[in-house]
Structure 1
Amino acid sequence: MEELSNTPEPADDSALDFCLRLARAQAAVVRRLDAALGGHFGISFGDFQLLHHLARAPGGRLRRVDLAERQGLTASGVTRSLLPLEKTGLVGRQPDPRDARVGFAVITPAGHTTLDNAMVTAREVSADLLRHAPPDQLQAVSAVLGLVAGATFI
C-alpha cells in the first residue's frame, strides 16, 4: 500500500523569481539613469520619461490622465511630477478650448532640447547596463515585459 505524504509539492517559484529580479533590475536602471541624467541635465529618469511620452504624442501634448496612464502614475501623481518641469520651462500647460475641465501637458522647445540631449546619455547608460545581454534574449525579455505591463505603446 502506498503511503500518502503530507509534504506539499515544491512550488514553482519561477514567476515570483522573475518578478523579484525585475524589481531589482528596475531599481538598478532607475538609479543609474537618475544619476547620469541628474548630473548632466538636472532631470530624473521619471522626468525624462514624462518628456519622452510628451515628445512622442501628437502635437507634443497629452491630457494629464493619459500621461499618468503611460507613466504608471495616478493623475495627481503626474501633476506633482510635472510641477518642477513647468517651473523650469520644460513643460507647459495648455487648456482645451472645447472643454475647460481638460488640461494638456505640452512639451516646450526647451523640453525638446533637453530631451534630445538627454536621449544620448540615456542610450549610452542603457547600452552599458545591457552590454552583456545577447540581442535575441533582449527581444524576448522585452516582449515579456510588454505583456506584464499591458503596454500598447513604447
Structure 2
Amino acid sequence: MAVAVASWRKALRGAACFVRGVSCFYVVYNYGGFLSKVDGPSMFPTFTGRGDWVVAEALPGLSDRVQVGDVVISTRPIQADENIIKRVTAVEGQTVNVYKAGSLAPVQIQVPPGHVWLQGDNLILSRDSREYGPVPLALVKGRVIAQLWPSMKWVERKLK
C-alpha cells in the first residue's frame, strides 16, 4: 500500500510540474510573457520573497492597461540595473497620502500623467514610491499574472 501511495505522489508531482511548464509556455508564446524571481519581503503575504517565481505579461502601450491593484514588474527608478515587483496603488490623476518621517500629517501627492504609484504589500519592509515618488510608465515592464513556485496560483488584482 505504501509503495502505491508513493508512486501516486511522484506521479502527481510530475503532473504538477508539467502543468506549470505548459502554463508558462502558453503565456510566453501567446502574450509575450516572461519569468521573474521574487526576492525580499516587500510583497509578503502575496509572495514569500524566498525565491518565488512568477509569470508576467509584457505590456506594450501601458498607459491604458495598468490598473490600481495590479502587481507589476518595473525597473527600480533609483537603480536602473535592478527590477522591483510592487502593487499599483494609484494611477495618473489620483492622489496619495504619504507620511514623511517626523510628520504627524500626511503629505498629499498627485500622480502625474504617464506615471503610477507603486507600493509593496508589506509596507513596513518595502522600499517603494514612498521613497522615490511616482514611477514613469516607461519603466513598467509587465503585469504579474501567476505565481509558479513555490505554489501555483493566479495573482489577483486587489489591494491588501
Length-normalised TM-score, structure 2: 0.33
Decide which structure has greater strand share.
2
Length-normalised TM-score, structure 1: 0.34
Higher relative contact order (CA 8 A, sep 6+): 2
Max radius of gyration: which structure? 1
Decide which structure has greater helix share.
1
